[in-house]
Amino acid sequence: MLKMFGKMLDRNKKGFTLIELLIVVAIIGILAAVGASVIPNLLTNAKIKCATANHQEIWNTLKTKAFACSAGIDVTYGPMYQRTPNTITLQCSKNTTGPSGNHYYTADNHAYYLYLEGRETIKSCYETSISTFSGGNKGKGWSNGNCNIPNTNIDLGQSVLGYNGNPYLCGGHGGDNACLKTNIGDKNGNDNFLYNIIDVCQLN
């Protein structure tokens, strides 16, 4: 055993041969090349999954709170962006109808308060220094009175909440729609959108 260990020490004193060094360099080069192609794809896929999860979280929250309100259950939004106080509770148990006997807390209310909440709490998956509702360089995160949200107004990772319809349309004159569009992107860095719309009048 001691003789074998001594031979190993003698070999280590000699260092690596040129061929061994070339093999090591070649292996490092291969690993670097593989990493250079794989890592960006992994990051892009992670951003797409993150933006998709943001969209689903926002939409599920909107549906859950709108449905609860339609059932006469109070709902709270907040903390909200640049609002004092920064939370609001919709007293759906007391004010479920408006002046025409229609829903008092409409798609406008739910979408707008959720927009303010999301702008305060949900970050963009592509640019983590800003909110998913900040609008980025192209537009705004809020679409006032319009659910035909143009794709050209939404950066990668950005979401837009909005509504359309008169606040008291639940009396049979149409719908009171809340909508959400998110640019989740694709693996090539192009735009790719998710879109949902709901008629809160149908929640009765």
CB 158 within 8 A of CB 127: no
Is the full-model pTM beyond 0.95?
no
* Separation CA 203–CA 62 (nearest Å): 12
Nearest to 108 by CA among 124, 135, 94, 90: 90
pLDDT for the residue numbered 190: 94
Question: Hey, where are the domains in the chain?
Answer: 17-203
pLDDT in 10s for each residue of the chain, 204 residues? 445 434 544 555 556 677 777 777 777 777 666 656 656 688 899 999 999 999 999 999 999 998 888 888 889 999 999 889 999 998 888 765 544 444 557 788 889 999 999 999 999 999 888 999 986 666 689 998 888 888 988 999 999 999 887 655 565 444 578 999 999 999 999 999 999 998 887 775
